[in-house]
Amino acid sequence: MVRTAKRKGVEVAVKLPAELTQARRFSKTRSAQSGALLEDYVELIADLLTSSGEARPTDVARRLGVSHATAIKTISRLKREGLATGRPYRGVFLTPEGQRLAARVRVRHRLVVDTMLALGVPAEAAEADAEGIEHHVSEATLKAFAQFLQSRGQS
């Protein structure tokens, strides 16, 4: 299918990808968005456990900028999915599966940040932008990022 669009005041033909190809791309994005929330939570919980020995829902809510009720709801989802456990009056802990996910997310985050820094992106922008990019980037792109950094002697 071909449609037209105006670019800089000029009509140009835009060729759409095949329907199945486009549907697969959008499906991947929706799936990444759903998983991104859980990944952010396990990464933060792991960081809180490492830095202070506990991850209380109140702390999670404050650090993610969400309500306490939202944090509780998402933590309950983590528990249902086998990524976290809770202990009365002790907060939230990650299961071994949750710990593995947190480690993978942390490595992916660092790789995205390091690549952006190598491209000249300011540190704060690289950290902030990586929070979104890290959940949507493919394994092929991550591999290319790693090779790019290795070629520059940065990895």
Window from 49-58, 87-96, 101-110 with minimum mean pLDDT: 87-96
pTM, two decimal places: 0.74
Task: For residues 64 and 56, give the distance between their C-alpha atoms in angstroms, rounded to a whole number.
Answer: 12
CATH numbers and ranges of domains, the chain: 36-94 (1.10.10.10), 100-151 (1.10.60.10)
More confident residue, 153 or 27: 153
Q: Tell me which amino acid residue 122 is.
A: P
Would you place residue 41 in the very low, low, confident or very high pLDDT band (cuts 50, 70, 90)?
very high
Task: For residues 74 and 77, give the distance between their C-alpha atoms in angstroms, rounded to a whole number.
Answer: 5
Residue 68 has pLDDT above 70, yes or no: yes
